[in-house]
Amino acid sequence: MNIDNIKKIVVLKNSMYFLRIPFLFPRESEINDPKKNVYIKFILLSMTTIYLSLGAAIHLVVNIRSGTYINVDRDIGTIISYHGALYFVFRFLGNIKDIIILYKQFSDFTTYGTPNNFERKNKLLNKFSKWYFAWHMCIVTGMTTSTLLTVDECKAENIMKNTNEVCGLVGSTWLPFEFDYFPLKTIVYGYQVYSSFVVYHTAGVLSYTMMETVEHLIIRFEHVGDTFVEALAEEDPSIRREKFYLAVQYHKTVIQMGNLMNSCFGPCMMVHISLTGPVLGVAGYRFLTEIPLDSTSLFFGWMFSTFIVCRGGQRLLEASMSVGNAIYTVEWYNLENDLQKDLRVVMMRCQKPMYLRAGPFGPMTYSTIVAILKTSYSYITLLKQTM
C-alpha cells in the first residue's frame, strides 16, 4: 500500500476526536508529521494526576503502621487501577507513529478498492463511539460521586472506631496537614475527580478505540474473502489469474496490517491480562462486602472495557479464518490445476488465524475473559481470608 498520498484518516473519526481532548492523539494538521509536543502535553497532563495514587499509597502505609487498616482495599484498588490505566495509555502513546500508519492503511481505498458496506459500518462504529464515550462518562461519574452519598455512614464509623478518616472523598488520601474543612476538602475532592477523569476515562475511551481498530481490520478480512470470490468467479482464465494474484497480495497486506496492529497494541493488551484480575478482585471484594457505588462502577467499567476488546479479538480470529471458508464455497474443482494448487496454499494459510495478542500472554478471546474472571475470584477469596 502506498500511504504517502493519504493526507486524511477517514476511519475512527470520533475516537480520534475524543483522544485529542487529553492530548493522546495529534491534531489533524499534524497527522503526517507528529510533533514531540504530542508526548510532552500528555506527559505533563498525566503528571498532574500522580498524587491520586501517591496519596493512596501513603495513606495505606500510614494505616498499616498504625495498625488501623482502614480502607486498605480501597487504597490497593486505587493504586493498581491508576498505574494499570496509566501504563495502558502510555504504551499506546509510545506507538503513536505506527498507529497512524495503520490508520492510513485503513484509509487507503485506491489500491484494493473499498470494502463492501464500508460507509455503513464506519458510520455505525462512529455512532457507537459516541455512546461509549457517554456511557463511560457515567461510569467515572459514579466512581467519583458515590462517596458523597455515604458521608453520614463514614462519620458514624469514625466515631465507632475512634478514627479520623476524611469522608466524602473519591478515595482515601494523605496530606501532611489537616484538610477536613471547607474549602480545602472541596479542593482535594475536585482534584481527585479531575485525576479520575483524566486517567480512567481516557483509558476507557482507548479500550473502545482498540476494539474499533480491530473491527476495521475485520472489515478488511471480509473484503479479502469477497475479492477472492470475485476473482475465482471470472470466466476468462487470464483475467482470473490476474485478479487471483491481486487477491493474494491483498490477503498478505491485511495480514501485515494485523501484525502491525499487534506490535502497536500488544503491550497495551498485557495490562488487561496482568492487571484486570487484581483490579476486578479488589473491586469485586468491596462489591460483595459493602456494595459501594464507586467499586461497582470501577468493576463494571473495567470489566466491560476488557470484554469489548476480547470480543473484538474473537471476531478477528473468526474473520481471518472465514477467508478460507469463502474460497471453499467457490467451484474451485472446475478451475485449472495450477490455480487449484495455488488455492490449496492460500487455504492452508487461512487455517492459521490472526489473533489480537497480549504480548507473551497469548490472544485476547472469549477464553481470556474466563481466565480473568477465575483470577479475580482468586483475589476475592484471598482478600476475604486476610481482611
Average pLDDT, the chain: 87
DSSP category for residue 166 = P
CA pair distance 49, 119, nearest whole angstrom: 39
∠ Cα 242 246 247 (to 5°):
115
For residue range 39-51, list pLDDT tens digits in order. Answer: 888 999 999 999 9
Q: Which of 148, 151, 150, 145 is nearest to 196 (CA)?
A: 145
Give the pLDDT confidence score for residue 193 in this predicted structure: 95
CA pair distance 218, 129, nearest whole angstrom: 17
| Residues in the chain, overall count | 387
pLDDT band at 358, cuts 50/70/90?
confident
Give the pLDDT confidence score for residue 291 in this predicted structure: 55
For residue range 2-35, list pLDDT tens digits in order. Answer: 677 777 899 999 999 999 999 999 988 888 877 7
Asked if the model's pLDDT at residue 280 lies above 80, the reply is no
Check: CB of residue 46 under 8 Å from CB of residue 199. yes
3-class SS shares of the chain: helix, strand, coil, % to 5: 75, 0, 25
The long-range contacts involving 227-234, CB below 8 angstroms and separated by at least 24 positions, are 227/112, 227/113, 228/323, 228/326, 228/327, 228/330, 228/346, 229/326, 229/327, 229/329, 229/330, 232/327, 232/330, 232/332, 232/335, 232/343, 233/330
**198 membership: H or E segment, kind and range:** none
**Residue 138, C-beta contacts closer than 8 angstroms, at least 6 positions apart:** none
Asked if the model's pLDDT at residue 279 lies above 80, the reply is no
pLDDT band at 106, cuts 50/70/90?
very high
Asked if the model's pLDDT at residue 142 lies above 60, the reply is yes
Give the pLDDT confidence score for residue 289 in this predicted structure: 65
Task: Give the residue-averaged pLDDT of 275-299.
Answer: 71
DSSP category for residue 165 = P
Query: What phi and psi values does residue 358 have, to the nearest 5 degrees?
Result: -105, 60
Task: Give the residue-averaged pLDDT of 53-66.
Answer: 90
Task: Specify burial of residue 334 (Cβ count, 10 A radius: 0-12, 13-18, 19+).
Answer: exposed
Give the pLDDT confidence score for residue 153 in this predicted structure: 84
Check: CB of residue 283 under 8 Å from CB of residue 298. yes
For residue range 146-177, list pLDDT tens digits in order. Answer: 888 888 888 888 888 888 888 889 888 999 98
CA pair distance 163, 30, nearest whole angstrom: 53
Give the pLDDT confidence score for residue 199 in this predicted structure: 93
Give the pLDDT confidence score for residue 126 in this predicted structure: 95
Give the pLDDT confidence score for residue 1 in this predicted structure: 67
Helices (H), 233-336: 237-289, 293-328
Give the pLDDT confidence score for residue 121 in this predicted structure: 95
Give the pLDDT confidence score for residue 387 in this predicted structure: 59
Asked if the model's pLDDT at residue 70 lies above 80, the reply is no
Check: CB of residue 343 under 8 Å from CB of residue 332. yes
pLDDT band at 324, cuts 50/70/90?
confident
For residue range 184-221, list pLDDT tens digits in order. Answer: 999 999 999 999 999 999 999 999 999 999 999 999 99
DSSP category for residue 363 = B
